[in-house]
């Protein structure tokens, strides 16, 4: 079983690093300088979203040129994408929702996978598939930490950990990280799409540094 789990492998690495940058890459040439500027600012993990046509090629370039970056891929919605993500050499993958077919396929391919949850039913379905480290999405608009504490309470004894994404920012990341349910937090504020398009690596590095200084 290759679900993303908190106590070993990429799940443990993610928890240890506490922060991940959610990225949308439009231009292939930005992939490597972007990953380098994040690393320089102290961010060692990313969720590169499959929302643009160059995403998989960008992932391959990052993996080759910036091997210290923990390369995760998000928005994995079907089994063909699982094949692509595995080929790109990603350390883990996440999705916005819970699709048991995709989770099982990823598991069989040895790809650590974290489904996205915001209801008890979704937590339940994820647990059935062996997942223990889950993406909490969309974190803020679904009710934030208070909501997560409510929906996860019946499952606490299973040792689940969550990665809130969606609306996390400098103002609330410390509160999330202070709660035992939370494995890591992430978001697009560290490297927003417009800064990537501008090639503003300095600003991305300083955003990363600021987030790291709060997350510890």
Using CB under 6 A as the criterion, which residues of the chain lie in contact with ligand 3PG when the complex forms?
Answer: 22, 47, 49, 74, 137, 165-168, 187-189
Q: Which of 36, 122, 135, 140 is catalytic?
A: 135
Q: Quick one: the chain helix, strand, coil %, rounded to 5?
A: 45, 15, 35
Asked whether 163 and 20 are in contact (CB, 8 A), the reply is yes
Q: Which is nearer to ligand 3PG, 188 or 207 (CB)?
A: 188
Integer CA distances (angstroms), 142 to 104, 139, 204, in order: 26, 6, 27
Closest CB 169 distance from ligand 3PG, rounded Å? 7
Closest CB 94 distance from ligand 3PG, rounded Å? 8
Q: Catalytic site residue 47?
A: yes
Q: Which is nearer to ligand 3PG, 38 or 154 (CB)?
A: 38
Closest CB 192 distance from ligand 3PG, rounded Å? 8
Q: Which residue is nearest to ligand 3PG (CB)?
A: 187
Q: Catalytic site residue 36?
A: no
Give backbone dihedrals phi and psi of 48, rounded to 5 degrees, phi first: -85, 120
Q: Which is nearer to ligand 3PG, 92 or 189 (CB)?
A: 189
User: CA geometry: angle at 119 spanning 154 and 180, to 5°?
Assistant: 55
Asked whether 136 and 115 are in contact (CB, 8 A), the reply is no
Q: Which is nearer to ligand 3PG, 130 or 138 (CB)?
A: 138
Q: Which of 47, 84, 129, 205 is catalytic?
A: 47
Beta-carbon contacts of residue 169 (< 8 Å; ≥ 6 apart): 187, 189
> How far apart are alpha carbons 183 and 172 in whole angstroms?
15
* Pairing mode, strands 161-164 and 133-136: parallel
Closest CB 99 distance from ligand 3PG, rounded Å? 15
Active site residues: 47, 135
């Amino acid at each position: 079983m290759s679900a993303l789990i908190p106590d070993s492998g990429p799940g443990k690495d993610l928890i240890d690093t506490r922060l991940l940058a959610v990225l949308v890459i439009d231009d292939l040439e930005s992939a490597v300088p972007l990953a380098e500027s994040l690393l320089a600012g102290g961010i060692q993990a990313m969720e590169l979203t499959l929302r643009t046509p160059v995403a998989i090629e960008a992932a391959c370039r990052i993996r080759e040129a910036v091997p210290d970056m923990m390369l995760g891929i998000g928005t994995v919605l079907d089994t063909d994408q699982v094949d692509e993500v595995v080929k790109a050499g990603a350390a883990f993958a996440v999705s916005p929702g819970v699709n048991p077919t995709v989770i099982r396929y990823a598991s069989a391919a040895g790809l650590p996978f974290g489904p996205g949850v915001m209801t008890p039913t979704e937590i339940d379905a994820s647990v059935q598939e062996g997942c223990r480290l889950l993406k909490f999405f969309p974190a803020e608009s679904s009710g934030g930490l208070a909501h997560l504490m409510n929906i996860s309470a019946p499952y606490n004894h299973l040792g689940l950990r969550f990665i809130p994404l969606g609306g996390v920012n400098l103002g609330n990341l410390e509160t999330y990280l202070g709660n035992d349910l939370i494995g890591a937090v992430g978001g697009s504020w560290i490297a927003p799409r417009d800064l990537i398009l501008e090639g503003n690596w300095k600003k991305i590095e300083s955003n990363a540094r600021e987030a790291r200084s709060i997350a510890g």
